[in-house]
Structure 1
Amino acid sequence: MKTLLILGAGGHGRSVAEAALLQGEWESVIFLDDAWPQVEELLGCKVMGKVADIGKMVELCHGAIAAVGNNAVREQWIALIERHDIALASVVHPGAWISPSAGVGAGTAVLAGAVVGSAAEVGKGVIINANATVDHDVQMGDLSHIGVGVQLAGGVKIGARAWLQAGSCCGYHVQVAGGERVSPGTALY
């Protein structure tokens, strides 16, 4: 059985687990989360320990993804995955669409209803949340995060570790600086 290790058993972790199991590439999911042992199961999948227990999981999994919305924590967890020589997995919900000409980096989650358009370039460890649009020629830096329903028009550039919260949007060729946090519903032109 091909098993995915997910770091993070919160709401985002649950969404990533569902997407992974629906995707068909993974037969099972196990979690690590610092809420363990209070949280022992999520979606019928076992929470096996705390994030620091990752070394015990190396032989039990075939890939791992950091499933937490906080960009800084996700960066730390990705480094932990890589230090333990576990393959950094991307998860794409089967209800998402990615153009064949787009590039999506390792450790990225693309959730239900999301669209990644022609020639878009998505970095490592990115979150593209449900019903978000990354249109043609968009560039998303490593560890950036776009929330539910975020709309990025063609040619937008999102810097590394930027976070565009739910419902925000960017008009054509807008640039968002690395590390910037954009409030929900904000329109940038």
Structure 2
Amino acid sequence: MLCSFEVFLNKTLLIIGAGGHGKSVAEAALLSGHWQAVLFVDDRWPQAREAFGCQIVADVAGLANVAHLAQGAVVAVGSNALRKTWLEALASAGLPQATVIHPQACVSASAQIGPGSVVMALAVVGVDVHVGSGAIINAGTVVDHDAVVEDFVHLGVGVSIAGGVRIESSAWLQAGCSAGYGVVVKRNTVFAPGTALTAKD
């Protein structure tokens, strides 16, 4: 995997956030084959210079100064509010939002995945699912047919979403949550790990 400045002719992805999720997104991007190099932006710079073998080149305030180094960018932080703010910063810097899908995710050809969203390893995104912008579909999560996952939603590891469920913008279902048929998760709501949601909720 190539993570340096050495190949400007190849596609470089700029990832905002070099924590655990950022490293996972970097691995997914490189394994996908759509990106040949990764650079990070993280507010620990300049004290921190490297993550996952890739260079950290700026803090968020310096994003515009490094925008020319990449052909696309994605925000890799778990906070929905922060992800939205930083995606807006990407737009201001003129960087196109990338969509990152791990090659070991199973995504239906009829599913729509919005810009700035990530789909991690072993996730399943079913037929006619709609995922908005800046969403996280984390490792091992299942989003079944006809479900709607709106902008800036975070579905944690191992979440199960039944067919036709709607998850409104900026909701966060933490690891192991499930949502049964007919459930509508209201915007900005947060559910603790393992919560089981039914239509009567």
TM range (shorter): over 0.9
Answer yes or no: is 1:131 the counterpart of 2:171: no
Tell me the distance in 2 between the aligned counterparts of 1:161 and 1:44.
31
Partner of 1:74: 83
Query: 2:45 matched to which residue of 1?
Result: 36
Q: Show the counterpart of 2:117.
A: 108
Secondary structure of the 1:85 match is coil
* 1:56 Cα deviation after fit: 1.1
1:1-189 paired onto structure 2 within 5 Å: 1-189=10-198
Match of 1:16, SS state, is helix
- Could you say what secondary structure the match of 2:58 adopts? coil
**TM-score normalised by length of structure 1:** 0.99
Please give the alpha-carbon distance, in whole angstroms, between the structure 2 residues aligned to 1:161 and 1:88. Answer: 18
Instruction: State the one-letter code of the partner of 1:2.
Output: K
RMSD: 0.6
Residue identity (%): 51
- Unmatched 5+ residue regions in structure 2? 1-9
**Aligned equivalents of 1:163 and 1:61: distance in 2?**
30
TM-score w.r.t. structure 2 length? 0.93
Partner SS state of residue 148, structure 1: coil
SS in 1 for 2:57: coil
Letter in 1 for 2:75: A
| Deviation by residue 1:7-29 (Cα, 9 ceiling, x = unmatched) | 00001100000000000000000
